[in-house]
Amino acid sequence: MNKPTLASLAAELNVSRQTISNVINFPDRVRPETRARVQEAIERSGYRPSAAARALRNQRANALGLRLSNPRNGISGSIMDAFTHSLVERADQSGYRIVLFPARTNEEEVDKLVELRRTLAIDACILTDTWLDDARPAQLAEASVPFAAFGRPWGAKDHGRWADVDGRAGAAEAAAHLRALGHERIGYLGWSDGSPVGKDRRVGWAQALCLSGDQEAELAVEVEDTVDDGAAGMAELLSRGATAVVCASDTLSLGAFTVIRRRGGSRQCIIGFDNTPVARELGLSSMAQPVDEVAATVLDMVLAQIADPAVELEGVLIAPALVARQGSALTG
Amino acid sequence: MNKPTLASLAAELNVSRQTISNVINFPDRVRPETRARVQEAIERSGYRPSAAARALRNQRANALGLRLSNPRNGISGSIMDAFTHSLVERADQSGYRIVLFPARTNEEEVDKLVELRRTLAIDACILTDTWLDDARPAQLAEASVPFAAFGRPWGAKDHGRWADVDGRAGAAEAAAHLRALGHERIGYLGWSDGSPVGKDRRVGWAQALCLSGDQEAELAVEVEDTVDDGAAGMAELLSRGATAVVCASDTLSLGAFTVIRRRGGSRQCIIGFDNTPVARELGLSSMAQPVDEVAATVLDMVLAQIADPAVELEGVLIAPALVARQGSALTG
């Protein structure tokens, strides 16, 4: 037997589709005997108004759009996968699914989100990978697409609809931890890409150590986010007298570790970022990003907007947590 | 200005919603002057029939359901994330989105998929993590939900709607590679969980080396999939005279590596599975799973079923590729 539809039921009962729709949505509008006959047929047939029909009626998809994040590299790419896992789990608890799609550019992402919203395939969306002067929040607001971002609106007007990891606080905690271990010259190994995330982490390191401008320039080295560049950067920092290092990523801390190990130093003088599986296996310390808290916060923010489009929201910074390690079976 | 809807347009033009719908879908049914007036208003207003309305009409969601895979551990969990990435990218090229949702059990997964299909939120689905006597394919077929699985129907009736990594061929290639390096006693370090995937890999190793039953029992050690258990298993294999090892996962090969390194051996006597970032960073050889080819194949399979529900399909095995490494900057 085919799945019953509004049309097949209407034909079978010899009533209009509108009558069946009324029985379901506005039973008072239908004469009692017709209502009883239609209700009985609906129950017997197993007919249920589809999500499409319900979405048409309530303008609700119970789905949130999320662009597939491009894995930047194999080591830290797992952060966005962990965020996606957490978001999918938490959204489900509120009755929402996640609609995943790819996009090559921010423009393509916004176009797809606006189209998904316009066609009732999603109710709202989550942005990730915010960047300097990110145009997406303003474009989505203009198109009335509710959103919340993992990542603050660097340089752009603060729309308040974001949660982010407080990288500055994380780098500061890492620097303070190294100083508590007795280090007096603590370097910073960061990214040369000019990313606002990287600059923010560098500020946290410099502030925690109360460095002068000259000291900061001397003890900070910025390179590409690769293991080899991390090794070269660490060698440079050692030549400048640093005895410990705060790294902007676990990729860089891995590179730093190759140098420290070759020279017989202790891995405890290195702290990376992202608490990746690699850092865990190698027994390297790292700042763990609170992706679960970020996912919970941005989800709350879009649900609040779905309930009340005019709701006022305020951005939230969540501090990462130090995972201190002293080695592993693998690396002694 | 609010987004125009079928209702607001109908009110503005003083025509019925059915008339507007007819202008869009069956223009011949509408008188020319009315048609012209409605078409002009539709263009001016920017009204577009929603995805919900189109889904109702064509019974097509242009979306595929996918259960969020539970990350088993931080090292090999990336395989399912890589598969998801590939699937999202490829589905998009065919005009399909991926609807991600969590499920605690296979039963909950099937219930959700049937409901998503019944309500036109998805057209078909992709299964992963198939297991012995997996009931999901039969249940979905019964409910007329098109599907294809990453993973063969171990022990169950062959429905033909699957693609899988040929782990047996992969383990055989790994064993042959180690023998070509001169090893004569090559062990197998596998899982004690009784998984069909693990058993299949063990068969590949034993067949490639033409082992007798006694030899196989002597040279195979099965443990939990942890680094510590991998180390203990490797120590046991060494005590039984093995000089090299095929591991069922990179987690186990990492454990094996800790033992080999401590004894001054070469990492080249170890081959893992999954070609994880950890193996790459440590310079360990590993069998790379062809997740991109698997994603392309299962996507083709569901699209074929959407086009023709009665299509006959045949399962596809895809061999993994050896990524041989001789070390890294990190581990010398």
Give the pLDDT confidence of B244-301 residue by residue, as tens digits: 999 999 989 988 988 888 788 888 999 999 998 778 877 899 999 999 999 999 999 9
From chain A, the residues in CB contact with B278 under 8 A are: 277-278, 281
Closest Cα of chain B to A207: distance in Å? 31
User: Per the CATH hierarchy, to which homologous superfamily does domain A6-49 belong?
Assistant: lambda repressor-like DNA-binding domains (1.10.260.40)
Closest Cα of chain B to A289: distance in Å? 15
User: Per the CATH hierarchy, to which homologous superfamily does domain B167-289 belong?
Assistant: Response regulator (3.40.50.2300)
pLDDT averaged over every residue in chain A: 88
Which CATH topology does B63-166+293-319 take?
A: Rossmann fold (3.40.50)
The interface residues of chain B toward chain A in range 140-169, judged by CB-CB distance below 8 A, are 144
Is any Cβ of chain A less than 8 angstroms from the Cβ of B310?
no
- Per domain, the residue ranges of chain B are 1-44, 63-166+293-319, 167-289
From chain A, the residues in CB contact with B119 under 8 A are: 48, 50-52, 54
Is any Cβ of chain B less than 8 angstroms from the Cβ of A55?
yes
Note whether A85 contacts B99, CB cutoff 8 Å: no
Closest Cα of chain A to B17: distance in Å? 12
CB distance A164 to A294 below 8 Å:
yes
Q: H/E element holding B22?
A: helix B17-25
**CATH code given to domain A63-165+295-319:** 3.40.50.2300
The interface residues of chain B toward chain A in range 243-282, judged by CB-CB distance below 8 A, are 254-255, 257-258, 276-278, 280-282
CB distance B53 to A118 below 8 Å:
no
Give the pLDDT confidence of A126-172 residue by residue, as tens digits: 999 888 889 999 999 999 999 999 999 887 789 999 999 999 999 99
Query: Over the range A160-184, which residues count as b (16 or more CB within 10 Å of their CB) and which as e?
Result: ebbbbbbbbbbbbbbbbbbeeeebe
Is any Cβ of chain A less than 8 angstroms from the Cβ of B50?
yes
Least CB–CB distance from A56: residue in B50, B68, B81: B50
Is any Cβ of chain B less than 8 angstroms from the Cβ of A330?
yes
Closest Cα of chain A to B212: distance in Å? 34
Report pTM: 0.78
From chain B, the residues in CB contact with A281 under 8 A are: 75, 227, 254, 278
Is any Cβ of chain A less than 8 angstroms from the Cβ of B286?
no
Please name the CATH architecture into which domain B1-44 falls: Orthogonal Bundle (1.10)
Is any Cβ of chain B less than 8 angstroms from the Cβ of A71?
yes
**What is the chain B residue with the closest CA to A2?**
B144
Is any Cβ of chain A less than 8 angstroms from the Cβ of B102?
yes
- Local confidence pLDDT in tens for the 332 residues of chain A: 456 777 788 888 888 877 877 776 666 778 888 888 887 887 777 666 555 565 555 667 899 999 998 765 555 567 888 899 999 999 999 999 999 999 999 999 999 999 999 888 999 999 998 888 899 999 999 999 999 999 998 877 899 999 999 999 999 999 999 999 999 999 999 999 988 899 999 999 999 999 999 999 999 999 998 888 999 999 999 999 999 999 999 989 988 988 888 788 888 999 999 998 778 877 899 999 999 999 999 999 999 999 999 999 999 999 999 999 976 544 44
In the prediction, which pLDDT does A182 show? Answer: 95
**What is the chain B residue with the closest CA to A73?**
B277
**What is the chain A residue with the closest CA to B67?**
A88
Q: Using CA atoms, how far apart are residues B315 and B223, in angstroms rounded to an integer?
A: 30
Is any Cβ of chain A less than 8 angstroms from the Cβ of B29?
no
From chain B, the residues in CB contact with A101 under 8 A are: 88, 92, 97-98
Give me the residues of chain B with pLDDT under 70, please. Answer: 1-3, 25-27, 46-59, 71-77, 327-332
Who's near B92: CB < 8 A, 6+ residues apart?
A101, A102
Who's near A213: CB < 8 A, 6+ residues apart?
none
Q: Do domains B63-166+293-319 and B167-289 have the same CATH topology?
A: yes
From chain B, the residues in CB contact with A48 under 8 A are: 118-119
β-bridge pairing B321-323 and B285-288: antiparallel
Is any Cβ of chain B less than 8 angstroms from the Cβ of A47?
no
Q: Which DSSP string do the residues of A204-271 spell out, in sequence order?
A: HHHHHTT--HHHHHHHEEEE-SSHHHHHHHHHHHHHTT--EEEESSHHHHHHHHHHHHHTT--GGGEE
